[in-house]
Amino acid sequence: MELSPKNPQSVPHPLAGTQMTGAEMVVQVMADEGVNTIFGYSGGAILPTYDAIFRYNAKHADDKGYEPMPLIVPANEQGAGFMAAGYARAKGEVGVVMVTSGPGATNTVTPVRDCMADSTPIVVICGQVPIAAIGTDAFQEAPVSSCLGPVSKHTFLVTDPELLEETIRTAFEIARTGRPGPVVVDLPKDIQNATGTFQGTGLLPVQGYRQRIHAVRGNVLDDTECEAFFEMLQGSKRPLIYAGGGVINGNASAELRHFANSLGIPVTTTLMGIGAVDTTEPLSLHMLGMHGLASANYAVDDCDFLIAIGARFDDRVAGAPTKFAPSVKHIAQFDIDPSEIGKVKSVDWNHIGVLKNDLQILSHYAEINGISPDFSQWHTEIANLKAVYGLNYDRDSDLIQPYAVVEAINDITGGKAIISTGVGQHQMWAAQYFDFQSPRLWLTSGSMGTMGFGLPAAIGAQFAMPDQLVIDVDGDASIRMNIGELETATSYDLPVKVLVLNNYGDGMVKQWQKLYYKGRLSYSDKSLRSKDFVKTAEADGFKFAVRLDQKADMKRVVKEWLEFPGPAFLEVIIDRDACVYPMVGPGLAYDQMVTGDFIPNRSKVSEEDIDSSEMF
């Protein structure tokens, strides 16, 4: 992600020389950085900055009372972190979290790690006890650097009030540049209360970091590299682009689409790369991997030139690295992070740089050199794979199938809605059966697989994109993790649509237990729980809260739910035995993929052939 600061200081800041408290400086720097929404929960150690935000909003509100920097209060700081993540992913800007010390800070550990794992840019500002009290086990003190340092891109502890401005600006710089990620600022209360002169400019001297970023930006593809790349492409008969979340984070979707379409190269994406290409296009193979589409996985097996763009060959995609893409003659890899090159899979050609620039240069090189390979036979093979090995399920069942629910929603939204999910079976069904015509419509916890992500992320996305339809696709187990955020949606009258696919338990765990543990549902069956999700939603202010348990009512109820003008909650009682297919077991190759009873399988593999020594 290469986003420029919102206020490049070519002229003196209009407030330069003004006396301000540290808290006021923090707020002013955030305003300069373009922050227009903050997510957080108050507490003693952060009160000075909360008060400064309140006063800033009161001073700058328009005649209709619109606040330029509203602070959104969740039910829990973890919710604030995921809201900021949803905001960042949907809008492509840095999300901001502001919490108090101690438990406020430690409650953000999970979303910070989640953002680090999925390269999501957020800045977390944590209140801290006064400097003199640090290390004394003071009330609500926590070692923020020790707790959050290992799971964040960078952590700052501010101990000098004269460096506060520079620290906040640098936090945003580090979060958004290079491979984006979460940055934490530990802010003692006495630093917030200190008074000083606002400079309006300046960054910390993190020279090593900036040198690495400058090197990546300056590493532009030359003609020799382009020639070598196209020599491999022109010697190929079945090239395939394998695109990951780096394309989304790098805002390079348009460039990828142009490159792929102009050269006729089919594209498959990772879970995090969904939306990088329009999934409704003929050359889009949608998602590959453990629960990827069979057609995509078979295309990977068949391709002879694999082009990895912003993807890292993780274990959900390349569970058996030595057997991944077995027919390839060459692999090329593009990334912004040098550590990803050859980390899992050896490659023949690579480039470290800015994806937007790289793809533009390659497209231009092909155009001026008249490179226009004929992959029509491969296109026919791709079309055949999609036709023969497409997704399918028991369409005649009397029970409501989760796949059918997603299809019914997709028929209405047409690949234009923002879809957020929790983690589990519902996450995979959503990834498989929804279409995505644009980037930043798909929000999910990929690498960390964090249950409870879906609802708060959807709320954050709705703040980021208030005019778009935002849907949280959740499971009965996953939504429990942050179910308190239902009230947040109604408190701010957000038109977010919440869907709970209820199979009375931890569905993905149950699927594996039924297959490999002789049906012993050890602590995963929630059928004896007494949770009434509809009453819960009603208690939290949802005016539309409906339970769907009759297949005949599905299309009507889904339409009413989506068209409801405010927050809307829909619980669907689905087939408890519905499974996620296709499925590639951990450590296995794609030719060992299990496709269930309704998706053809060219390898004739059964569940019994999968080793259950690893989970998921």
Going by their DSSP bridges, the two strands 19-21 and 195-197 should be labelled as: antiparallel
- β-partners of residue 269 are 243, 287
192: how many CB neighbours lie within 10 A of its CB? 28
- Check if the beta carbon of residue 405 is closer than 8 Å to that of residue 574: yes
Please identify which of the residues 93, 166, 172, 189 carries the catalytic annotation: 189
Residue the block writes with tokens 């400064």: 52
- Longest Cα–Cα distance of the chain, Å, equals 74
Can you tell me the distance from the alpha carbon of 246 to that of 420, in angstroms, rounded to the nearest whole number?
19
* Strand-pair category, 497-502 with 568-573: parallel
Residue with tokens 């502890």: 157
Positive or negative torsion for Cα 429, 431, 437, 439: positive
The two tokens of residue 394 are 């028991």
Cα 408 to Cα 173, 179, 352, 507: the distances in Å are 42, 37, 42, 21
| DSSP string computed for 538-600 | HHTT-SEEEEE--GGGHHHHHHHHHH-SS-EEEEEE--TT----SB--TT--GGG-B-TTTS-
Question: Given 77, 141, 165, 485, which residue is catalytic?
Answer: 77
Tokens representing 221 are 């593809």
Query: What is the per-residue DSSP string for 436-472?
Result: -SSTT-EE---SS--TT-HHHHHHHHHHHSTTS-EEE
Question: Which member of 67, 91, 140, 281 is catalytic?
Answer: 140
Determine whether 189 is an active site residue: yes
Residue 499 β-bridge partners: 473, 570
The one catalytic residue in 272, 287, 428, 508 is: 508
Pairing between β-strand 305-309 and β-strand 122-128 as defined by DSSP bridges: unpaired
Phi, psi dihedrals of residue 286, rounded to the nearest 5°: 60, -140
Q: Could you give the CA distance from residue 503 to residue 491 in angstroms, rounded to a whole number?
A: 29
Residue type, 335: D
Residue 203 is given by DSSP the state -
CB-based contacts of 357, cutoff 8 Å, min separation 6: 220, 221
**Do 494 and 459 meet the contact criterion of CB atoms below 8 Å apart?**
yes
Angstrom distance (rounded) from CA 461 to CA 469: 10
Element (H, E) at 507: helix 507-516
Burial of 266 (0-12, 13-18, 19+ CB in 10 A): buried
Burial class (CB in 10 A: 0-12, 13-18, 19+), 14: exposed
DSSP code of 351?
E
Return the closest-CA partner of residue 126 out of 172, 72, 189, 174: 189
Query: How far does CA 113 lie from the centroid of its chain?
Result: 12
- Please identify which of the residues 54, 139, 367, 535 carries the catalytic annotation: 139
**Contact indicator for 121, 181 with CB cutoff of 8 Å:** yes
Residues annotated as catalytic are 77, 139-140, 189, 508
